[in-house]
């Protein structure tokens, strides 16, 4: 038996001791090697989540800063353009005189506009304006431009006697449950077989203020909110962003005032 075992050892060589130790070492490290990739993956995923959080926070702060600075930048640019535009009317005259002071033309322009307003408010100024409008109305193309510009300027004027927007109106349009914001420009009497009905000419802007549609609506169907014409124009120009949270019609406001006065009034004897 002993000789047979020696023959088998000669046929099947046994590896040296160092090789066995290396094999046992590699076999033990397989478990640690399999655990290493999971640790690397978890570390990379945590790092990626942290970077996403930082990017999201930075983007939100950037948008917040843009929202705050954009209106300020637009206001500054428009104001600066307006000052330079108005200043350009009289600044060339001062440049010819050798006076180069920025803003002097702007102040002169404002003073000139004020003096024109004072002069046109007088009887002589009104006569000169009527004569100038008579000449302009004789011009074929210029008369249309002047008429449209005059109506727009009259609409934002504080003088309610002029041909301007009289009141702010809310009408049901285009279907029940939907309302349109507009301005009452005039009233019309519609005569028919059933009698006479008073209609309000309501101008509904469709493109800011200078373009819109005209609707003839019965006076009973027109809701008049407690808004001035200037506030209505601001609502239209801002795209509805300056509209108040609660709008009360004039009829409801009058009823509330009457109820309040009746509550604190002295009863009749």
pLDDT per residue as tens digits for the range 220-246? 888 888 888 888 888 888 888 888 888
Q: What is the pTM of this model?
A: 0.48
pLDDT at 174: 78
How many C-beta atoms lie closer than 10 Å to residue 190's C-beta?
12
pLDDT at 162: 55
Please give the average per-residue pLDDT across 90-100, as a whole number: 84
Average pLDDT of the chain to the nearest whole number? 76
How many C-beta atoms lie closer than 10 Å to residue 86's C-beta?
19
Q: Is 234 helix (H, G, I), strand (E, B) or coil?
A: helix
Contact 183/165 with Cβ under 8 angstroms? yes
pLDDT tens digits along 140-184: 888 888 887 777 676 666 555 555 678 889 988 877 778 888 888
Contact 165/203 with Cβ under 8 angstroms? yes
Please give the average per-residue pLDDT across 8-16, as a whole number: 49
94, pLDDT greater than 80: yes
């Amino acid at each position: 038996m002993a000789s047979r075992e020696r023959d088998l050892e000669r046929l099947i060589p046994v590896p040296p001791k160092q090789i066995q130790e290396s094999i046992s070492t590699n076999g033990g490290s397989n478990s640690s090697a399999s655990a290493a990739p999971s640790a690397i993956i978890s570390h990379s995923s945590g790092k990626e989540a942290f970077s996403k959080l930082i990017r999201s926070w930075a983007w939100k702060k950037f948008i917040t800063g843009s929202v705050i600075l954009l209106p300020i930048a637009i206001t500054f640019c428009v104001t600066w353009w307006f000052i330079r535009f108005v200043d350009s009317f009289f600044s060339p005259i001062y440049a010819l005189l050798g006076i180069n002071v920025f803003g002097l033309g702007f102040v002169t322009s404002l003073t000139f506009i004020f003096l024109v307003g004072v002069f046109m408010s007088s009887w002589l100024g009104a006569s000169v304006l009527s004569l100038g409008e008579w000449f302009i109305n004789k011009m074929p193309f210029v008369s249309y431009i002047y008429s449209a510009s005059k109506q727009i300027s009259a609409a934002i004027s504080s003088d309610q006697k002029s041909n301007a927007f009289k009141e702010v109106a809310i009408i049901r349009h285009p279907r029940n449950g939907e309302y349109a914001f507009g301005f009452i420009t005039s009233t019309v009497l519609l005569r028919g077989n059933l009698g006479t009905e008073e209609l309000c000419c309501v101008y509904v802007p469709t493109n800011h203020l200078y373009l819109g549609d005209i609707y003839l609506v019965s006076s009973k169907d027109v809701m008049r909110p407690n808004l001035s014409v200037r506030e209505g124009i601001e609502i239209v120009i801002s795209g509805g962003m300056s509209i108040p949270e609660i709008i009360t019609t004039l009829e409801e406001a009058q009823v509330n005032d009457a109820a309040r006065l009746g509550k604190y009034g002295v009863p009749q004897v």
